[in-house]
């Protein structure tokens, strides 16, 4: 690309410019097959999937960069692909071809080039589906995370149709820091705050690590054995917090999707919320975005639906009894006091009830959007209906 840009600046005609390379995976693989005897004469010693994994990541990175420049890709601007760091990146490789199977004892798997590997956990759930013919392995990814090797399978599964335990149930879910989730049914889900609970131990491990002789890239100094051991202990503490958080969120979202048919949540600006330096750690520990991500695909698995309320919908400022909207509601006000009807209710419970009420508006509108109060609109008074500014509620799954 730099060569073509330089040639263009010199006035070289388009037909005489250096031929461009294809950015597709097939084109990159073809170029690699032509160059690998010279640049990597040791390539037959490892699996071809090691190179294919990198080429696939490069193809997706180039596509995202080009789409970001032309405006065809939504989201944040994406820069030009860069080489991964061997120090900070999780080593991984994805196998898409070759012999990939689970052994009959269900404690071993066979992967290309690596051969027969023993598992720490039984693969009986996957083996049962494979034996019944309701699943087919598409690929296997091996990665090293916090000193442990993991293998994950991408599987095409034939899922039976599921119906929630309460097919007519509608629940609004208001997430927060003090309480992880407040349901419109009145149930409160406590926030375990795993990171806060482990903070003292992690600080102690970090101080112990700082006293060891670590690596220095400027002088080329290698870390001492004790530094590596201390770093492994600190990494293990972080891994435990991550595993506890993931386990709790999976149990919560699985229970909600199996019990309720319609779940309504808010479209929170988590990225903007993380800019608050006083609450960023607690917001990240709660995992707001992960809750919505898991609800999105689990509602489809269990025959339900997920509705996303508009980001500017005033769920906390709106009275769940009469519909009056307050102009201001400080974060320190934990109870909602309605001046119109006299309702006194917990603000999070009030928000959850308003979210659950949006499901009726969606059913009335059919496949259209549900109105949400836009940022350029004044709060509506009692008896008024919010106007439609942009899609407020979208079904997922």
Residues 391 and 263 in one domain: yes
Residues 185 and 247 in one domain: yes
pLDDT (0 to 100) of residue 13 = 87
For residue 49, is it within any domain? yes
For residue 6, is it within any domain? no
CATH number of the domain at 362, please: 3.30.420
Task: Give the bridge partners for 157, in sequence order.
Answer: 135
pLDDT (0 to 100) of residue 384 = 41
The residue from 157, 179, 213 where one domain ends is: 157
* Residue linked to tokens 């600190």: 234
Q: Which residues are catalytic?
A: 174, 266, 348
Residues 364 and 260 in one domain: yes
- The CA distances from residue 84 to 68, 365, 394, in Å, are 20, 48, 36
- The pTM score is 0.78
Q: How far apart are CA 28 and CA 366, in angstroms?
A: 46
Q: How far apart are CA 187 and CA 175, in angstroms?
A: 12
**205-218 pLDDT, tens per residue?**
999 999 999 999 89
Q: How far apart are CA 184 and CA 56, in angstroms?
A: 44
Confidence of residue 246 (pLDDT cuts 50, 70, 90): very high
* Residue linked to tokens 């051969």: 115
Residues 34 and 69 in one domain: yes
**318-331 pLDDT, tens per residue?**
898 888 888 888 88
pLDDT (0 to 100) of residue 359 = 86
Residues 72 and 146 in one domain: no
Confidence of residue 380 (pLDDT cuts 50, 70, 90): very low
pLDDT (0 to 100) of residue 143 = 93
For residue 350, is it within any domain? yes
Residues 32 and 133 in one domain: no
Residues 144 and 247 in one domain: no
pLDDT (0 to 100) of residue 366 = 54
Whether residue 74 is predicted with pLDDT greater than 60 in this model: the reply is: yes
Whether residue 250 is predicted with pLDDT greater than 70 in this model: the reply is: yes
For residue 130, is it within any domain? yes
Chain centroid offset of residue 225 CA: 35
pLDDT (0 to 100) of residue 146 = 78
User: Residues 342-362, buried b or exposed e (16+ Cβ, 10 A)?
Assistant: eeebbbbbbbbbbbbbbbebb
Range of lowest pLDDT (24-28, 342-346, 382-386): 382-386
Give the chain's domain count: 3
For residue 225, is it within any domain? no
**259-296 pLDDT, tens per residue?**
999 999 998 888 888 998 888 999 999 999 999 999 99
The residue from 106, 140, 157 where one domain ends is: 157
Whether residue 338 is predicted with pLDDT greater than 60 in this model: the reply is: yes
Residues 96 and 147 in one domain: yes
- Among residues 252, 259, 358, the alpha carbon closest in space to that of 314 is found at 358
Give the DSSP letter string of 270-283: HHHHTT-TTTHHHH
For residue 235, is it within any domain? no
Average pLDDT, the chain: 87
For residue 309, is it within any domain? yes
For residue 29, is it within any domain? yes
Residues 144 and 188 in one domain: no
Q: What is the pLDDT averaged over residues 347-368?
A: 79
Confidence of residue 334 (pLDDT cuts 50, 70, 90): confident
Residues 64 and 173 in one domain: no
pLDDT (0 to 100) of residue 397 = 36
Residues 151 and 258 in one domain: no
Whether residue 388 is predicted with pLDDT greater than 50 in this model: the reply is: no
Inter-residue contact 107 to 127 (CB < 8 Å): no
The residue from 57, 79, 101 where one domain ends is: 79
**289-308 pLDDT, tens per residue?**
999 999 999 999 999 999 99
Residue-range definition of the domain harbouring residue 54: 22-79
Residues 100 and 135 in one domain: yes
pLDDT (0 to 100) of residue 377 = 41
**172-200 pLDDT, tens per residue?**
999 999 899 999 998 999 999 999 999 99
């Amino acid at each position: 690309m730099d060569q073509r840009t330089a040639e263009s600046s010199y006035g070289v005609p388009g037909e005489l410019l250096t031929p461009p390379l294809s950015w597709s995976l097939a084109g990159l693989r073809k170029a690699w097959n032509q160059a690998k005897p010279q640049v990597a004469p040791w390539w037959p010693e490892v699996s071809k999937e090691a190179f294919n994994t990198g080429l696939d990541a490069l193809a997706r990175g180039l596509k995202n960069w080009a789409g970001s420049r032309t405006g065809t890709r939504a989201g944040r601007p994406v820069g030009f692909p860069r080489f991964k760091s061997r120090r900070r990146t999780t080593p991984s490789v994805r196998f898409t071809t070759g012999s990939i199977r689970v052994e009959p004892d269900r404690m071993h798997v066979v992967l290309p080039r690596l051969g027969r590997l023993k598992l720490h956990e039984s693969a009986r759930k996957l083996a049962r589906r494979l034996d019944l013919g309701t699943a087919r392995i598409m690929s296997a990814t091996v990665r090293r995370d916090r000193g442990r090797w993991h293998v994950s399978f991408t599987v095409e599964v034939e899922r039976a149709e599921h119906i929630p335990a309460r097919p007519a149930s509608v629940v609004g879910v208001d997430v927060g820091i003090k309480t992880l989730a407040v349901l419109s049914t009145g149930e409160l889900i406590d926030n375990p705050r795993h990171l806060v609970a482990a903070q003292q131990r992690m600080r102690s491990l970090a101080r112990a690590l700082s006293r060891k002789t670590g690596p220095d890239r400027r002088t080329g100094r290698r870390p001492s054995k004790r530094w590596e051991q201390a770093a492994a202990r600190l990494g293990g503490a972080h891994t435990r917090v991550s595993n506890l958080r993931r386990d709790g969120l999976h149990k919560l979202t699985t229970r909600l999707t199996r019990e309720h048919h319609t779940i309504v949540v808010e479209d929170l600006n988590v990225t903007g919320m993380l800019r608050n330096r006083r609450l960023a750690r607690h917001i990240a520990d709660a995992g707001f975005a992960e809750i919505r991500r898991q609800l999105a695909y689990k509602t489809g698995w269990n025959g339900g639906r997920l509705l996303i309320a508009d980001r500017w919908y005033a769920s906390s400022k709106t009275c769940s009894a009469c519909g009056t909207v307050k102009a201001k509601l400080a974060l320190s006000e934990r109870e909602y006091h309605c001046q119109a009807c006299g309702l006194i209710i917990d603000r999070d419970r009030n928000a959850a009830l308003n979210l659950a009420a949006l499901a009726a508006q969606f059913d009335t509108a059919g496949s259209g959007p549900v109105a949400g109060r836009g940022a350029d609109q004044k709060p509506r008074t009692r008896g008024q209906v919010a106007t439609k500014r942009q899609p407020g509620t979208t079904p997922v799954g």
